[in-house]
């Protein structure tokens, strides 16, 4: 665990714990083993300090902030042990929906964004438009019903002793709110899983494990509490689109309501993505109705940290990067998804990289940038994108990526029975639309 994270109510930092390990490792191991064997989570580890974390807008408006629970690091260590054991069981026995990419080995926001991009590009290649709806859940983690969750834990195969441990983990919790140096009186918590806890994303994934099966027409994909539906359609069948989308949205809303989760239709984003020619053929009014609100298609929206536009050019995403990114990891976030963007956008990113390089190496504005890049061991943007694509491809063909990506690739040996020199190479699919 990182040493720079804020400590919980006990004010014991991770740095102190790491330095004390030679002394406390034995007793701490005994406590964690006792907790798991007795199906009891220590009461002292159930106290949380909640701080507001700004999402967007004015920080003085409460709804613009997300509550973050500061938990003791000792409790997080215990959670990590439980996560490793129970998470391994779920993965080995394939208990979680294949449409859930959160909390799974080899899965990430990037792999799910790749799946989304591939689905849309294939539709565009077939002269088909894709409707994408990004569903916003209000206070998702805070709305989890403990009784429902314990039942769902049993449904995925958790033994009675494991369910009892999770019941102890969830119940009897208290929290106080800290703003600056002012701390409120602790109050009991009867609902939800703690924001910032190690186990919370996995527990929420289990809580919504049946959500993808609720839709009839579209495909629902999730990354923990971020869900989206995709439905591809031809321009000729546009009249059916509204009915099918609204039916699936109703089914999703009904499933969420049964689980006491609240969808915010005002923050739900709706996009129509395709070629310019196909989008221009659509009717002017493409609105849909959802929970008594009219939702109008938008030109671009943010999905798992990436800005997607109606033509899948990623121009707005690159514009956002250029205006804010001086950190390499941020600039290349999910780069395998948008690396097929225009050469103009690549040049914009190269200018950002050059600017950062000049600052670090103190190279003059009119001096050649290559010596600075070599000094920092930085590849130019175009080569960096190619490297990251190669790494992702390696993962896909060596079972280090989700099956929904690995299954997109076919070896020639799977098609041709006769051994050839290139039998281990990949079969390149035919396509009509150029990138």
DSSP 3-state of 234: coil
CA distance 129 to 373: 42
State the residue range of the domain holding 171: 14-309
Confidence band (pLDDT; 50, 70, 90) for 420?
Answer: low
Q: How many domains does the chain have?
A: 2
Residues 295 and 418 in one domain: no
Q: Taking all residues of the chain, what is their mean pLDDT, rounded to a whole number? A: 91
> Does the residue 303 lie in any domain?
yes
Residues 171 and 282 in one domain: yes
Q: Give the alpha-carbon dihedral of 87, 264, 67, 221, to 10 degrees.
A: 20
> Does the residue 7 lie in any domain?
no
233: left (phi > 0), else alpha (psi -120 to 50), else beta?
beta
> Does the residue 390 lie in any domain?
yes
Residues 31 and 144 in one domain: yes
- Distances from the Cα of 52 to the Cαs of 60, 64, 68, 94, 164, in angstroms? 10, 9, 6, 36, 31
> Does the residue 237 lie in any domain?
yes
Residues 98 and 45 in one domain: yes
Residues 70 and 202 in one domain: yes
Residues 165 and 271 in one domain: yes
> Does the residue 6 lie in any domain?
no
Cross-strand bridge partners of residue 54: 65
How much is the pLDDT for 127?
A: 93
Residues 69 and 210 in one domain: yes
Residues 292 and 331 in one domain: no
Residues 127 and 248 in one domain: yes
Dump pLDDT digits (tens) for 86-131: 999 999 999 999 999 998 999 999 999 999 999 999 999 999 999 9
- Strand 173-179 relative to strand 47-54, pairing: parallel
Phi and psi, residue 135, nearest 5° = -90, 130
Among 269, 291, 309, which residue terminates a domain? 309
Dump pLDDT digits (tens) for 393-415: 999 999 999 999 999 888 776 66
Among 309, 344, 361, which residue terminates a domain? 309
* Residue whose tokens read 């659509």: 282
Residues 304 and 381 in one domain: no
Kindly state the DSSP code that residue 184 receives in the 8-state scheme: P
Among 286, 309, 332, which residue terminates a domain? 309
Q: What is the pTM of this model?
A: 0.89
Q: Is the pLDDT of residue 435 over 50?
A: no
Residues 71 and 158 in one domain: yes
Residues 55 and 185 in one domain: yes
């Amino acid at each position: 665990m990182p040493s720079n994270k804020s400590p919980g109510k006990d004010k014991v930092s991770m740095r102190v714990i790491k330095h004390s390990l030679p002394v406390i490792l034995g007793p701490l191991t005994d406590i964690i083993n006792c907790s798991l064997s007795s199906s009891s989570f220590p009461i002292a580890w159930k106290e949380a300090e909640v701080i507001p974390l700004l999402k967007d807008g004015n920080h003085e408006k409460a709804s613009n902030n997300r509550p973050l629970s500061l938990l003791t690091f000792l409790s997080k260590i215990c959670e990590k042990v439980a996560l490793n054991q129970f998470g391994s069981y779920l993965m080995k026995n394939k208990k979680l929906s294949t449409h859930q990419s959160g909390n799974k080995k080899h899965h990430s926001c990037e792999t799910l964004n790749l799946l989304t991009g591939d689905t849309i590009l294939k539709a565009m290649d077939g002269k088909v438009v894709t409707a994408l709806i990004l569903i916003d859940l209000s206070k998702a983690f805070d709305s989890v019903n403990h009784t429902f969750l314990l039942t769902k834990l049993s449904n995925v195969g958790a033994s009675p002793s494991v369910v009892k441990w999770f019941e102890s983990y969830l119940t009897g919790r208290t929290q106080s709110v800290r703003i600056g140096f002012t701390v409120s009186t602790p109050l009991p918590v009867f609902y939800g899983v703690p924001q910032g806890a190690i186990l919370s994303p996995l527990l929420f994934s289990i809580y919504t494990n049946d959500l993808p099966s609720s839709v009839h027409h579209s495909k629902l994909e999730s990354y923990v509490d971020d869900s989206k539906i995709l439905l591809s359609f031809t321009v000729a069948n546009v009249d059916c689109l509204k009915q099918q989308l609204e039916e699936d949205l109703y089914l999703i809303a009904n499933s969420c309501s049964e689980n006491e989760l609240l969808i915010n239709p005002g923050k739900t984003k709706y996009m129509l993505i395709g070629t310019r020619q196909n989008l221009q053929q659509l009717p002017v009014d493409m609105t849909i109705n959802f929970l008594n609100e009219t939702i109008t298609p938008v030109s671009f929206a943010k999905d798992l940290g990436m800005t997607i536009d109606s033509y899948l050019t990623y121009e707005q995403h690159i514009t956002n990067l250029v205006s804010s990114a001086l950190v390499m990891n941020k600039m290349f976030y999910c780069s395998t998804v948008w690396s097929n963007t225009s050469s103009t956008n690549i040049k914009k990113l190269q200018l950002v990289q050059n600017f950062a390089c000049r600052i670090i190496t103190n190279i003059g504005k009119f001096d050649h940038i290559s010596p600075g890049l070599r000094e920092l061991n930085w590849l130019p943007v175009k080569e960096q994108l190619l490297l990251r694509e190669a790494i992702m491809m390696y993962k896909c063909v060596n079972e280090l990526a989700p099956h929904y990506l690995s299954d997109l690739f076919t070896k020639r040996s799977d098609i041709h029975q006769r051994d050839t020199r290139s039998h281990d190479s990949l079969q390149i699919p035919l396509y009509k639309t150029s990138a």
